Amino acid sequence: MAWTRDQMAARAAQELQDGYYVNLGIGLPTLVANHVPEGMEVWLQSENGLMGIGPFPTEAEIDPDLINAGKQTVTTLPGSSIFSSADSFGMIRGGKINLAILGAMQVSEKGDLANWMIPGKMVKGMGGAMDLAIGAKETWVMMDLMTKTGQSKIVPLCTYPLTGIACVKRVYTDLGTFECSPEGLRLIDCVEGLDEAALAQMMGVTFVH
């Protein structure tokens, strides 16, 4: 049985630290905003120019002028600020963001990231992925572990064009949580019903300890 997307987001949110400035990438990572631990002060940043994102709005709270980088409507917290995209990327490139949580198509055992294009398919553009992967002090990934055809997205070597090299530290998936390191891939935890040996066989990798 796999973890749900909300369970994955809650699992990642457990690892946040008080006072962090965090950029949430488009898609699955945005769910982390709903699971920041109570009493913890975490400032969520969106690359289109918003610092201080709150949980997703209820129907009554929706403001079409308040959106994240994925064009989803969001809420703001007391003390939030709105600014230009240029200022936003100044924060990212200037190393002011503690953590970026991004989606991915592939992550290598040593933390290489491929998340911006699949060769042969239409590409809208790089977006802010490369800036975030390199500019943030730490990068985590949230994604389903397996493709629709049953291939692991955590691989010995990425076969898609790279976004960043050795930039990913943690990978939160629907089947387990992993840590990337120069020595290789470590399993932190996994869903009930799977163990290290079963995951290693499914993924075609060897875990380090």
Which residues are annotated as catalytic?
Answer: 47
172 phi/psi in degrees, rounded to 5: -105, 120
Strand pairing report for 154-155 and 106-108: parallel
H-only helix segments in 61-158: 85-93, 129-135
* DSSP symbols for 13-28: HTT--TT-EEEEPSSG
Token code pair at residue 156: 């010995």
Which H or E element spans position 203? Answer: helix 196-203
Distance CA 10, CA 195 (A): 21
Per the DSSP assignment, residues forming a β-bridge with 178 are 171, 187
3-class DSSP assignment, residue 91? helix
